Amino acid sequence: MKILVVEDEKKLAESIAAYLQQEGHLCECAASYQLAEDKVVTSFYDCVVLDVTLPDGNGLHLIETIKRLHNETCIIILSAKNSLDDKLAGLGMGADDYLTKPFHLPELNARIKSINRRRNFQGKMEIHINEILIYPEDGIVLVNGQQLALTKKEFELLVFMSSNTNRVLTKEAIAERLWGEEMDMADSFDFIYTHVKNLRRKLIEKGSVDYIKTVYGMGYKFTTA
């Protein structure tokens, strides 16, 4: 995928680009409204990660331009404001998702993948990892063709991990994914352990390879390589 990161804070843009490039995407950065506009006008991007507060303009206006030129481009808004009105305005104008700073890079990656799955109408609605087949929209997981009975949290966990394979996912990132940012993280760390343990057991029971590895007690990694 070709992704444009519109973010005036260069260091953050670099981080995002670095993470997404490791996923095999082609990433470009634009640090201002003007630069971003030039880029979206001259070339096509599959996805635009857009900071709404830019030094020379409101990122929301860029959505109109993008949507007019390339309706199929997916847009994820980054905002420091965490304001519902901004969110609604952005989504109303055609943005696909909304993330509040500070966000987790695996979360951004998972969101991009999720949107891409939904927007991609060539029948690629599922995540396929060797013997595991996940249908994120339907909540169905098949291992070697057998359906797996997972709880809602276990399923979310599997989707999140499978969107960030071979990456260390910290407990913070997982907890925020599963319970939202309002949940007190200290409480949820123990539950992550429980959910991961159960998910692992269920996968192995159906004959799956043990993909999930613990990383020094700080997080987990879904290793496919």
Partner 1 sequence: MKLLNKATLYYLVVSLLIFAAGGIVIYYAIQAIVKEEVDEQLYSEKEKVLGKLKDNGAAPPFLLSEFIVVKPISSAHKEILRDTMIFDLADEELLPFRQLVFSHAVNGEMYEVTISKSLLESDDLVEAIAKAFLITALILLVSIVVLNRFISHSLWCSFEKMLADLKKFRVQDKKAVVPKASRIREFDELGAAIGQMTTRMVNDYTNLRQFTENASHEMQTPLAVIRSKTELLIQSPGLPEAEMQKLQDIQEAVRKLAQVNRSLLLLARIENDQFTATLPVAMKPLTEKLLLNYEDLIAEKNIQLETSLADVNIPIHATLAEMLLNNLIHNAIRHNVNVGKVKVLLSEEAFIIANSGSLFMVEPGILFERFGKNDAANDSIGLGLAIVKEICEKSGFVVSYRFDQNEHIFTVKF
Cα dist from 45 to 25, 36, 147, 164, 203, whole Å: 11, 11, 36, 22, 36
First-residue to last-residue Cα distance in the chain? 21
User: Least separation, in Å, of the C-beta of 165 and partner 1?
Assistant: 12
Residue corresponding to tokens 């006008």: 41
Q: Does 216 bind partner 1 (CB under 8 A)?
A: yes
Token pair, residue 108, equals: 């951004």
Taking alpha carbons only, the member of 129, 115, 179, 186 closest to residue 158 is 129
Cβ proximity to partner 1: between 138 and 184 the closer is 184
Cβ proximity to partner 1: between 84 and 122 the closer is 84
- Residue of 11, 71, 121, 138 that binds partner 1 (CB under 8 A): 11
* Residues of this chain, 16-75, that bind partner 1 according to CB under 8 A: 16, 18-19, 22
Cβ proximity to partner 1: between 65 and 170 the closer is 170
Report which secondary-structure segment, H or E, holds 204: helix 185-205
Cβ proximity to partner 1: between 25 and 101 the closer is 101
Which phi-psi region, left, alpha or beta, contains residue 209 (left: φ > 0; alpha: ψ -120 to 50)? beta
Looking at the DSSP bridge assignments, the partners of residue 79 are: 100
Cβ proximity to partner 1: between 82 and 130 the closer is 82
- Each residue 175-194 as x (binds partner 1 by CB under 8 A) or -, in order, gives ----xxxxxxxxxx-xx--x
Residues within the interface to partner 1 (CB under 8 A): 9, 11-12, 15-16, 18-19, 22, 80-85, 100-106, 153, 167-168, 170, 172-173, 179-188, 190-191, 194-195, 215-216, 218-219
